[in-house]
Amino acid sequence: MDCEPKKLYHVHGFDSRNHTDTFFSNKSPFVVDCLKFHMDSLYHKALAQGHIGGQLLLDISCGCVIHQLFSAVDFFQDIIVLKVNDRCIMELKKWISGEPGARDWKHCSSYITEIEKKSDATEVKEQKLKKAIKQILKCDFEKENLTYPVVLKPANCIITTEFLECISIDLDEFVKNLKKCASLLVPGGHLLMLGVIDATFMVVGNDKLHILKMSENEFRDSFLKAGFIIDVCEVQKRDVADGYQLFDYESIIFVAAHKAN
């Protein structure tokens, strides 16, 4: 039995560079699960269908990843990114301003243009995303207003990647956090979630992070309890044969849902 205490992402944080290198770089063994499945699902299963878009997209994701936003940038005028720690905010601001040592996301801009069959638009896509990100704000899910003292206007859509499972201790708290996401949306607004099934931990550097273990049915039930109507639910078995010592999920899941009016 694993008795090693696990850290909480929103309390203890982690090395965001190590997180990106391990799970989201173009050389990562997890690239199919953690990057390509995310980008493909968002684009093909939701956004390219034509009924999701608008003025404002909020992104609430674990670490300083932005691969998911390359899939979304053409469908929203403005993007606001919410982060629970200052290091991730710093990393993203470095990328937007093009500072030396900033994370290179060209493999993601290249991949989305491949999906869109626009291979000559890689640099254009990066510049468009940088321009679309209007704010990067600190958030705290313990507060009634997550972004206090900033008050956000209701968003058309939220994208969240492997975040709520990291900050929720149990299913009740997961539902509570889904309801907090719902409170940030306009009536009928969409929540696009990318998560993991039957995971209990993720290792980033020397830190072992808590992940709330959930089945597909528990994901579905949680969305319904939080006042969402599920439009799409896609589950894909783990592509990586090894690496369980780093991330012990069995499947990955994509849920597209909209807030009941």
Q: From the centroid of its chain, how far is CA 151?
A: 21
CATH of the structural domain 9-259, one choice from 3.20.20.20, 3.50.50.60, 3.40.50.150, 3.30.413.10 = 3.40.50.150
Supply the pLDDT for residue 51.
93
Answer whether residue 1 shows pLDDT above 50.
no
Answer whether residue 9 shows pLDDT above 90.
no
| Domain residue limits, the chain | 9-259
- What's the average model confidence in pLDDT over 44-63? 96
Paired sense of beta strands 201-204 and 207-210, if any:
antiparallel
Supply the pLDDT for residue 101.
86
pLDDT in tens, 177-223: 999 999 999 999 999 999 999 999 999 999 999 999 999 999 999 99
pLDDT in tens, 235-258: 999 999 899 999 999 999 999 999
Overall pTM surpassing 0.85 (yes/no): yes
pLDDT in tens, 63-98: 999 999 999 999 999 999 999 999 999 999 999 999
Lowest mean pLDDT among 106-115, 120-129, 182-191, 244-253: 120-129
Supply the pLDDT for residue 8.
86
- Give CA–CA dist 160/61, Å, rounded: 5
Supply the pLDDT for residue 120.
65
How far the first Cα of the chain sits from its last, in Å, is: 45
